[in-house]
Amino acid sequence: MEITGNSYLQNEGRYNGIFSWIFSTDHKRIGILYLVSILSFFAAGVSLGFLMRLEFLTRGATIMEAATYNSVFTLHGVIMIFFFIIPVTPSVFGNFFLPILIGAKDVSFPKLNLLSWWFYLAGAALALLSLVLGPADTGWTFYAPYSLRTGTYVSIAVFAVFILGFSSILTGINFVTTVHRLRAPGMTFWRMPLFVWAIYATAWIQIIATPILGVNLLLVIAERVFGIGVFDPAKGGDPILYQHLFWIYSHPAVYIMILPGMGIISEVLPVFARKVVFGYRAIAYSTIGIAAVGSLVWGHHMFVSGYSYTAGVIFSMFTFLVAIPSAIKVFNWVGTLYKGSIEGGTPFLFALAFIFLFSIGGLTGLILGALSLNVHLHDTYFVVSHFHYIKFGGAGFAFFAGLHYWSPKMFGRLYNKKTANWSCLILFSGFNMLFFPMLILGMEGMPRRYYDYLPQYANLHLISIVGSWVLVSGLIIMFANLIYSVFKGERAGANPWGGATLEWQVPSPPPKENFETIPEVSRGPYDFTDLRK
Amino acid sequence: MNETTHITARHRDYTGSKIGMWLFLVTELCLFFGPVLLFAMNDIKYPTEFHAASGALDRTLGTLNTVILLTSSLTAALSVASVRRGNNSLAVFLLMMTIALGGVFLFNKYFEWGEKIAHGIYPGSPGLAKLSAGEAVFYGLYFFTTGLHALHVLAGMALLSVMSVLTAAGKVDKNDFIKLENSALYWHLVDIVWIYLFPLFYLIS
């Protein structure tokens, strides 16, 4: 990478080479550290998912046995959820852009920020260790009592996730404090870009929900090592309570995944529609609304676990309620496009793909939230498809939108737009080809987590497998294009898309402390009047 | 609003550090919320067994430990007050006292656990398996929760030891005492968690 000017990519610190990165407390460098480490895990997770699909090419064991398949889907889940989709947007774009977007020079606690990346690495090392010793076969949910009894190295995998929790908590604390303390003069809460709102709400969930998962995982370890018996029915314990504690965290964690993605979409759409975002306050409030109501819906993962009917009705009701703020966002995004002067760019295409895929994910979520239908669809491919539409189609595509939107700012180089547009189209088609047949498979009764299937499911599985090939080719093209651009791309100006938020007012890549003088903010984030001149 | 530029200029933000510490304490409370929730659910399920098991705990020792921990919280708070008044040596003495009281707390805890273990009651023991299911769960939660709390006491003692070194060396003084103040806040958390655990395990039944 050729570097000019006073950019953060230039090395002026105490250390040289790799050490100037892994010991850097600059929020931008930490963002890049996260980007590289998280994407490495993403590559591993995609490969595992690809192999899982390939297994379904023929009936019976195709490329792996049942026990291997159990380990593979567990690893795929653990990696994709805890190592990729939970940390990816807050840790990469949150770190890189949150301080710039509010006009600060760094986050409140730069050293803690670096520490949180080291925690991420420690968790990663432990996960790899468990992989070498013998990966867990419990599924990413580590449900008791199986997780207490299986002979695989569950404790290490669980401890890895526990360590990642520290990373998540420290990031959350850092962001909440930064938003409260380091906003530039004039940057009131109602002038913050919606991405900042999203990261702020996410940070609160990280702070409040993560410790509950943490203690739950500690209980699993204590149970395996000391046999305390709290979740073990043989010792009088109750495994349902494990599920409650698990989902008290893990459902809000879905919003840790999706809210920052929604924030990215709320940044991209107004810029490419050249129009102030429709219903700024409604989007901000709905972000908080999702964070709040989303904390009360965990029981919808447990409709068939055996709790009272009343509990089921209440959780079902809250599940329907949480659809309201999500729908408010979708309508506001579409409203933003209405009568805008739209300029099609790759980030915009990804944002449109997001809205479509997220809507399918959201609507299938309502189907699953209905008590009676859930009994039929529980633990089928319908569920698998639903959460992939939300997490990959939603959070993942939003992250890709963010990559195409912000990478010119992060590296100062533009990617090939034509290739990028094609990669978006290929990804979108591959994704739907892979996951839409799963909705039908689920309704026809194909259970999840089986390595084999009945003959009547063969055709739909085949379509889905071919879809996985298309999807993977799309990913390869997209990342090849982005990586090439980082080194060889055309130079990007300070403001390639015509954005009005603060990050577009500093050079690309941003200078070391972001701003020479802290800017004075006098208007909202989507005011394009100056750019029209 | 000029405050912002001020903060970034000197890289020190008293209020920011306090906000960060309080947020961290929130995460600690959420951590203990898990076992407390489990306790509540199991108490509803096994009211008589929980009553019996709770009665078998040593209330005198528990009360003594509560008094010890409350006193240590006082000495921790006083050490911050003395640093603010510029009296570092008194602060170091009070910190030492806090650490010592923490040690006494753990010492008592050791005897309390030891007595149960001597009776064959510890996680995974055959003695525990002979008890009723409800009592077994009670002791499982008892050992886990008080053990987790004891780890926090240890962490707090380590933290305060570092602080007493820093205070003795003058790195913490009346102009910059946020580190000590935050450490004292952590110690108060350790105290307040115990104040909830004590009635939960020893008194309510």
DSSP string, A477-516: HHHHHHHHHHHHPEEP-S-TT---SGGGGS-SSPBTTS-S
| Contact list, B37 vs chain A (CB under 8 Å) | 241, 244-245
Is the model's pLDDT at B1 over the cut of 60? no
Strands (E), A267-317: none
CB A387 within 8 A of CB A77: no
A108 contacts B133? CB cut-off 8 A: no
Lowest mean pLDDT among A400-404, B65-69, B71-75, B171-175: B171-175
- Pick the residue from chain B with its C-alpha nearest to A212: B31
| Contact list, B6 vs chain A (CB under 8 Å) | none
For position A19, what pLDDT does the model report?
A: 87
> Which tokens sit at B51?
């009553």
For residue A134, is it left (φ>0), alpha (ψ between -120 and 50) or beta? left
| Contact list, B127 vs chain A (CB under 8 Å) | none
DSSP string, A219-237: HHHHHHHH---SS-GGGT-
Lowest mean pLDDT among A7-11, A103-107, A239-243: A7-11
For position A126, what pLDDT does the model report?
A: 93
Q: Containing domain of residue A327, as a range? A: 24-531
pLDDT in tens, A123-179: 999 988 988 888 889 999 999 889 988 888 899 999 999 999 999 999 999 999 999
| Contact list, A235 vs chain B (CB under 8 Å) | 128-129, 133, 136-137, 140
CB A383 within 8 A of CB A448: yes
Would B8 be classed as within a structural domain?
A: no
For position A178, what pLDDT does the model report?
A: 96
Please indicate if any CB of chain B lies within 8 Å of the CB of A109: yes
Q: Tell me the pLDDT of chain A averaged across its residues.
A: 93
pLDDT in tens, A345-355: 999 999 999 99
Instruction: Tell me the nearest-neighbour CA distance from A118 into chain B, angstroms.
Output: 18
pLDDT in tens, A289-316: 998 899 899 999 999 988 889 999 999 9
pLDDT in tens, B37-68: 999 999 999 999 999 999 989 999 999 999 99
A236 contacts B23? CB cut-off 8 A: no
- Pick the residue from chain A with its C-alpha nearest to B140: A228
| Contact list, B27 vs chain A (CB under 8 Å) | 169, 173, 207-208, 210-211
pLDDT in tens, A20-58: 889 999 999 999 999 999 999 999 999 999 999 999 999
By percentage, how much of chain A surpasses pLDDT 90?
81
Is the model's pLDDT at B128 over the cut of 90? no
| Long-range contacts, stretch A32-38, CB < 8 angstroms, 24+ apart | A32/A96, A32/A410, A33/A117, A34/A87, A34/A88, A34/A91, A34/A92, A34/A95, A34/A117, A34/A120, A35/A92, A37/A117, A37/A120, A37/A121, A37/A124, A38/A83, A38/A84, A38/A87, A38/A88, A38/A91, A38/A92
pLDDT in tens, B87-126: 999 999 999 999 999 999 999 999 999 999 998 888 888 8
Nearest by CB to A176, from B1, B23, B132: name it: B23
Q: A–B: how many Cβ contacts below 8 A? A: 129
B27 contacts A207? CB cut-off 8 A: yes
Instruction: Tell me the nearest-neighbour CA distance from B90 into chain A, angstroms.
Output: 30
Nearest by CB to A222, from B13, B33, B144: name it: B144
Other residues' Cβ atoms within 10 Å of the Cβ of residue B184: 27
Give mean pLDDT, residues A475-503.
Answer: 94
Quote the CA–CA distance of B78 and B127 in Å, as a whole number: 45
Q: Bridge-partner residues for A392, per DSSP?
A: none
| Number of independent structural domains in chain A | 1
Instruction: Tell me the nearest-neighbour CA distance from A8 into chain B, angstroms.
Output: 18
Local confidence band at A509 (pLDDT 50, 70, 90 cut-offs)? very high
Give mean pLDDT, residues A91-113.
Answer: 95
Between the CA of residue B172 and those of A310, A510, A520, B95, B169, what are the distances in Å?
Answer: 56, 36, 35, 13, 8
N-terminal to C-terminal alpha carbon distance within chain A: 34
| Contact list, B124 vs chain A (CB under 8 Å) | 226-229
Place of tokens 């006292």: B97
B137 contacts A236? CB cut-off 8 A: yes
pLDDT in tens, B164-203: 999 999 999 899 999 999 999 999 999 999 999 999 999 9
Instruction: Tell me the nearest-neighbour CA distance from B201 into chain A, angstroms.
Output: 15
Q: Containing domain of residue B46, as a range? A: 14-202
For position A531, what pLDDT does the model report?
A: 73
Which residue from A47, A206, A23 is spatially nearest to A115, judged by alpha carbons?
A23
Q: Which of A113, A220, A226, A308 to mutate to test the interface with B (most CBs of B within 10 A)?
A: A226
DSSP secondary structure letter of residue B173: B
Whether cis (ω within 30° of 0) applies to the bond prior to A510 is: no
Give mean pLDDT, residues B140-169.
Answer: 96
pLDDT in tens, A359-375: 999 999 999 999 999 99
| Contact list, B32 vs chain A (CB under 8 Å) | 215
For position A435, what pLDDT does the model report?
A: 97
Which residue from A408, A414, A403 is spatially nearest to A507, judged by alpha carbons?
A408
Would A438 be classed as within a structural domain?
A: yes
- Pick the residue from chain B with its C-alpha nearest to A107: B8
- Pick the residue from chain B with its C-alpha nearest to A108: B16
Please indicate if any CB of chain B lies within 8 Å of the CB of A183: yes
For position B205, what pLDDT does the model report?
A: 67
DSSP string, A89-115: IIIIIIHHHHHHHTT-SS-S-HHHHHH
Local confidence band at A16 (pLDDT 50, 70, 90 cut-offs)? confident
Please indicate if any CB of chain B lies within 8 Å of the CB of A234: no
DSSP string, A512-531: TTS-SSPPPP-S-TT--HHH
CB B108 within 8 A of CB B68: yes
CB A198 within 8 A of CB A260: yes
Strands (E), A66-219: none
Give mean pLDDT, residues A273-286.
Answer: 92
Quote the CA–CA distance of A507 and A8 in Å, as a whole number: 11
Please indicate if any CB of chain B lies within 8 Å of the CB of A241: yes
Q: Which residues of A, range 27-86, sit inside 8 Å of B by Cβ? A: none
Quote the CA–CA distance of B88 and B174 in Å, as a whole number: 9
Would B85 be classed as within a structural domain?
A: yes
| Contact list, A106 vs chain B (CB under 8 Å) | 8
* Cα within 13 Å of Cα(B2), Cβ side: 0
Q: Which of A100, A216, A235, A307 to mutate to test the interface with B (most CBs of B within 10 A)?
A: A235
Local confidence band at A484 (pLDDT 50, 70, 90 cut-offs)? very high
Is the model's pLDDT at A356 over the cut of 50? yes
| Contact list, B38 vs chain A (CB under 8 Å) | 219, 230, 241, 245
| Number of independent structural domains in chain B | 1
| Contact list, B24 vs chain A (CB under 8 Å) | 169, 173
Is the model's pLDDT at B11 over the cut of 90? no
Collapsing DSSP states into helix, strand and coil, what is residue A317? helix
| Contact list, A112 vs chain B (CB under 8 Å) | 20
Quote the CA–CA distance of A368 and A33 in Å, as a whole number: 38
E strand or H helix at B179, and its extent? helix B178-198
Quote the CA–CA distance of B15 and B3 in Å, as a whole number: 11
CATH number at residue A343: 1.20.210.10
| Contact list, B134 vs chain A (CB under 8 Å) | 236
Q: Which of B3, B6, B8 to mutate to test the interface with A (most CBs of A within 10 A)?
A: B8
DSSP secondary structure letter of residue A183: P
CATH number at residue B56: 1.20.120.80
Give mean pLDDT, residues B81-86.
Answer: 95
B28 contacts A207? CB cut-off 8 A: no
Give mean pLDDT, residues A259-263.
Answer: 96
CB A300 within 8 A of CB A255: no
CB B71 within 8 A of CB B101: yes
Give mean pLDDT, residues B66-95.
Answer: 96
> Whole-prediction pTM value?
0.93
Is the model's pLDDT at A185 over the cut of 90? yes
